[in-house]
A and B are shown apart, each in its own frame.
Chain A
């Protein structure tokens, strides 16, 4: 008898040819192996929009004092984001975290616990940079985070 089979012809007269079955299982295994997809652990941040507030201008300098404003520019030559806290340029995330923490503590001392961190970023800034700042705020227990909205990108 040709081909692989289960059972010995001498001992068992009914031998099963498993070659075809092995072929099919190989194909199925290959298909499921190729379609295997490992998922990363995902989570989310709630960023609910203020009802009826819409987008509004920055307004006066007094209004700027009412917020901790993180401004992010995009340097097209260096292909990197340049961060500022207010007017001060920040060189690293650690420095930014320390400055945000300090500003938040100041706001608590001034009895303004709701002072938000406003992220005002260039539309070309990578999303990961924005999420880093959101994460940094959450780490320092700042829940009020606002996104400054410019004109919709064309």
Chain B
């Protein structure tokens, strides 16, 4: 028996609209990607309605951002207590300046170095010594123990930094 001749069907897929959309998506993601050196760690900042927004937080070069965030050993958010923002294990809370992590002991040295690099020209008439012109921005997680923020403030006072700012997030608008 003779086989019927096979009909070849030419099925082509028009990819032009898909490529157009993918180019647009690529452009969007490329433009919104933040490839700068991260001064800011991922922290859940406490919300405050009266916080001053609008200013560029890093508009001035003489700002040191001290991030205080929760990161248990082994990475991730594996600590059950963190979910209720009450983890009080001192080992789980870290300090970071320009993506470099510090312990409670080594953060003092880092702040001292940064403070001494930007000392004011004139001797302060109140304290009779040169103070640091550097600002320290403390970005602490909303669940961070107050003692960690206290420590940074005390160190700043000791090394001559008096311009301190604390970061907070604007609450979402209803």
Q: Which residues of A contact B (CB under 8 A)?
A: 4-6, 8, 18, 21-22, 25-26, 28-29, 32-33, 35-37, 39-52, 54-55, 76, 79-80, 121-132, 134-135, 138-139, 147, 149-150, 152-153
* A73 to B136 Cα, complex, angstroms: 27
- Determine if B32 is an interface residue (Cβ-Cβ < 8 Å): yes
A127/B142 in contact, CB under 8 A: yes
B157/A131 in contact, CB under 8 A: no
A35/B33 in contact, CB under 8 A: yes
* A109 to B26 Cα, complex, angstroms: 63
- Determine if B124 is an interface residue (Cβ-Cβ < 8 Å): yes
Residues of B within 8 A of A48 (CB): 162-164
Given A54-B157, A147-B153; A131-B26 close (CB under 8 Å): no
A6/B23 in contact, CB under 8 A: no
- Determine if B117 is an interface residue (Cβ-Cβ < 8 Å): no
Residues of A within 8 A of B53 (CB): 41-43
For the complex of A and B, the 9 pairs showing the least CB-CB separation, nearest first, are A123-B147, A32-B29, A43-B51, A153-B147, A52-B127, A128-B142, A43-B53, A128-B46, A138-B50
B57/A44 in contact, CB under 8 A: yes
* Chain A proximity of B74: nearest CB distance (Å): 22
Query: B64-89 interface mask toward A, CB cutoff 8 Å, 1 = contact, 0 = none?
Result: 00001000000000000100111010
B22 CB contact (under 8 Å) in A25, A46, A129, A139: A25
Given A127-B141, A127-B144; A44-B165 close (CB under 8 Å): yes
Given A22-B18, A26-B22; A124-B166 close (CB under 8 Å): no
